[in-house]
Amino acid sequence: MSVALGLTRPLVVRTTPVDDPVDLISRLPEAAPYAWIRRGEGLVAWGEAARAVVPPGPGRFGWARDWLAATLGAAHVDDGVGVPGSGPVAFGSFTFDENSPGSVLVVPRIVLARRDGRAWLTTVGGEPLDLVTAPREPGRIRYGDGSLSAPEWEHAVAGAVERIRAGRLEKAVLARDLTATADQAIDVRVLLARLSGRYPDCYTFSCDGLVGATPELLVRRTGETVESLVLAGTTPRGADEADDRRRGAALRASGKDRHEHTCAVESVRTALAPLCSELEVPGEPELLVLPNVQHLASPVTGRLAAGASVLDVVAAMHPTAAVGGTPTPVALDVIRELEGMDRGGYAGPVGWIDARGDGEWGIALRCARIDGSRARLFAGCGIMGDSVPAAELAEAQAKFRVMQYALEG
């Protein structure tokens, strides 16, 4: 077995049907929980049966694929359920920048899942013995500037606009961070419960300290079928129903937002086409209405060629224009030049994969990095040639509210 695995013997995995747990998050112990939940369904997990720190660099997804093949492929598996997400599962988080350290893959010791009227429990190496305690409130939250103050970030946006108008690129996505300090160590379960309750149509996730509720599905693989949801173009929710409709109509009619959305859709089409024998891309975007913002959204579906796992698709798609820009290589250079920070896992792929190659991966948006009593919140905006720095700052503030709600309640 590869030395990189850190395993002395193959994993022993058992999956059995269980009664519906109803509330997955309530079954989690406090220590380092993993989660992927939408509309009350998905997977929660805890403990570590195997862990890999993925080396940074252009070959990181290939390294991760090989590690997973060796670790999950060598496992002794008794799977009495046989659906996507049963048997051995790995949760993962990859940094936005391929050259940044911090990408991880973890095979949890315990996975509890529910989907389509079925529920199951997977154990690796024995029965679960972890004690579930009552969730703890974090107490008072104090906020501070992240890498750039608000005026400094507006200046960075103006710099991106100048580069776009000069013809260097079409679009750049600039991110902001915000620090938060709580009175107590932050209990991730509290954040997960609030996020999944308030944003049921998003994918609430937790992986290695990165916690959030992303509206953006990078890819779902179920057998030969692959799905992606492209989001680009955003407006805040209105003060009332009429204002909401006006804002939605204005978003649909916005040349800037429509062009931004088209760039994002084309980047996904370009990435998926070589991997798929069939690909369906809608001609017009839909409007996705969330509690805090509205997005232009395009669901993309395809049929994969034989042998491609969900991680192969992730590798081909990241970074999309929705979180990087267009053209991507130039946009990444502009991000490194102007943003003034390392994003870490923000806007990187986060999700899970099973031994069949099925899985779900989102883009880590509306999220925070949790470390004890401290949190680092992230938000990003797509910058175009006619972007106004003050308006982009307001959009970022609207996106911060997701994690501020999770922290404050």
Active site residue 98: no
Contacts of 196 (CB under 8 A, 6+ apart): 25, 37, 40, 204, 213
| DSSP H or E stretch at residue 161 | helix 150-165
Dist CA 45 CA 105 (whole Å)? 13
57's tokens: 């660099």
Quote the radius of gyration of the chain (alpha carbons, Å): 21
pLDDT tens-digit map of 126-149:
776 678 899 999 999 999 999 999
**CA 28 and chain centroid, separation:** 20
Contacts of 22 (CB under 8 A, 6+ apart): none
Longest CA pairwise span in the chain (Å): 63
Q: Which of 387 and 127 is assigned the larger pLDDT?
A: 387
Q: Mean per-residue pLDDT for 107-119?
A: 96
Q: At 246, is the secondary structure helix, strand, or coil? A: helix
Catalytic residue among 154, 170, 171, 260, which?
A: 171
Report CA-CA distances (Å) from 208 to 66, 102, 158, 197.
21, 10, 34, 22
Q: Is position 108 within any domain?
A: yes
Q: Is position 133 within any domain?
A: no
Q: Mean per-residue pLDDT for 209-233?
A: 94
Q: What percent of the chain has pLDDT over 90?
A: 89
Identify the band that residue 4 occupies on the pLDDT scale cut at 50, 70 and 90. very low
The pLDDT of residue 307: 79
Q: Is position 168 within any domain?
A: yes
Q: What is the mean pLDDT of the chain?
A: 94
Catalytic residue among 154, 170, 216, 260, which?
A: 216
How many CA atoms lie less than 13 Å away from 311 in the CB half-sphere?
A: 24
pLDDT tens-digit map of 289-348:
998 899 999 999 999 987 788 999 999 999 988 899 999 999 999 999 999 999 999 999
pLDDT tens-digit map of 232-253:
899 999 999 999 999 999 999 9
CATH number at residue 173: 3.60.120.10
Q: Is position 318 within any domain?
A: yes
199, with CB counted inside 10 A (0-12, 13-18, 19+), is buried
| DSSP H or E stretch at residue 395 | helix 389-408
* C-beta neighbour count of 252 within 10 angstroms: 18
Dist CA 106 CA 161 (whole Å)? 40
Q: Is position 272 within any domain?
A: yes
The pLDDT of residue 5: 44
Identify the band that residue 2 occupies on the pLDDT scale cut at 50, 70 and 90. very low
Domain that holds residue 303: 3-127+143-408
Q: Is position 308 within any domain?
A: yes
Active site residue 256: no
Dist CA 124 CA 14 (whole Å)? 7
Q: Mean per-residue pLDDT for 192-199?
A: 97
Cα distance between the two ends of the chain: 47
Identify the band that residue 1 occupies on the pLDDT scale cut at 50, 70 and 90. very low
Q: Is position 240 within any domain?
A: yes
Q: How many domains in the chain?
A: 1
Q: Is position 48 within any domain?
A: yes
Q: Mean per-residue pLDDT for 53-57?
A: 98
The pLDDT of residue 6: 52
The pLDDT of residue 267: 87
For the full predicted model, state whether its pTM sits above 0.75: yes
Check pLDDT > 70 for residue 270. yes
